[in-house]
Amino acid sequence: MPPRSPSPVAVVTGASRGIGRATALAFGAAGYQVWSLARAAADLETLTAAIAAKGGQAHHRALDVTQPDAVRAACRDIVSASGAPAVLVNNAGVALSAPLAQTSLEAFDQVMAVNLRASFLFCQEFMPAMAQTGSGRVMNICSTAALKGFKYTSAYAASKHALLGLTRSLAVEFAGKGVTVNAVCPGWTDTEMLARSADAISKATGRSKEQSVQALADMNPMKRLVRPDEVAALCLFLASPAGAVVTGACYPIDGGESAA
């Protein structure tokens, strides 16, 4: 186990790529000791090396967030090694696009396990430890699918709506304990998940990959994709002194999609 550090600790789930990776890098650059969690061990090793190369402190742990016992063990090991986190970014997520009739119960349960139950478990393990220190910031990465419905995303939208409800309830529960909880709701973001969605559109419509990506970007009034580093910057704001009184909030970062 690494030694305890005076640097504040940030735990980022789903950190191997996309928004999670950008967020881990941003907190590392900001002086946090970063714990990166995800299934892809090789990608986590590369991320840890990238943070360390810039003078940051970084550790990682390969973890399947659908396994409750493994999640609880990882959380307790992190607290034992580094103390209560100052920041928790619940970013681990999985997307599912299918008509209702083609959404199996197994697929529904998998989406809920990753997008909702894992965040619940991380909050349950870390937030009491944060409260004991009198300070903590939790950011749950939701989606514009937490704010409205989309066709063929019943399981995904249900999981993200539920995560937003969890965020608001925990914000009220911990408001007097110095721990804030907020939801960050990105629109279409330039990640591997978006690339898979574009591939599916191309297959279904015959459009080129570039046309499919642009069709997703065109869903917001700014006509562009969100960048992972822009989502990371919002998380840094919520962790900063300027975010100390912000709790129970929902931050769309979507080029105006949810306002249109």
- What is the C-alpha separation between 226 and 230, in angstroms, rounded? 7
Alpha carbon 88 to its chain centroid, in Å, reads 9
pLDDT of residue 36: 98
Residues that are catalytic:
156
Count the Cβ atoms, other than its own, within 10 Å of residue 116: 21
pTM of the model: 0.93
- pLDDT tens digits for range 59-113: 999 999 999 999 999 999 999 999 999 999 999 999 998 999 999 999 999 999 9
Which token pair is 165? Answer: 């409800």
Query: Is 142 in contact with 164 (CB distance < 8 Å)?
Result: yes
The number of CA neighbours under 13 Å toward the Cβ of 129 is 20
CATH class of the domain comprising 9-187+228-251:
alpha beta
Q: Indicate the domain borders of the chain.
A: 9-187+228-251, 189-225
Give the pLDDT score at 5. 52
Q: How many Å apart are CA 255 and CA 221, to the nearest integer?
A: 6
Edge-to-edge strands, sheet with 179-186: 57-62, 33-38, 9-13, 87-90, 136-141, 179-186, 250-253
Summarised one tens digit per residue, pLDDT across range 245-256 is: 999 999 999 999
Model confidence over 27-64: pLDDT tens digits? 999 999 999 999 999 999 999 999 999 999 999 999 99
Task: Render pLDDT for 181-207 as a digit per residue (tens, 0 to 9).
Answer: 999 999 999 888 878 887 877 887 888
Contact present, 88 and 63 (Cβ < 8 Å):
no
% of the chain residues with pLDDT over 70: 98
The per-residue DSSP string of the chain comes to -PPP-SSPEEEEESTTSHHHHHHHHHHHHTTPEEEEEES-HHHHHHHHHHHHHTT-EEEEEE--TT-HHHHHHHHHHHHHHH-S-SEEEE---------GGG--HHHHHHHHIIIIIHHHHHHHHHHHHHHHHT-EEEEEE--GGGTS--TT-HHHHHHHHHHHHHHHHHHHHTGGGTEEEEEEEE-SBSSHHHHHHHHHHHHHH---HHHHHHHHHTTSTT-SPBPHHHHHHHHHHHHSGGGTT--S-EEEESTTGGG-
CB 113 within 8 A of CB 68: no
Say how far apart CA 184 and CA 108 lie, in whole Å.
23
pLDDT tens track for 166-180: 999 999 999 999 999
Give the separation between CA 156 and CA 124, rounded to whole angstroms.
22
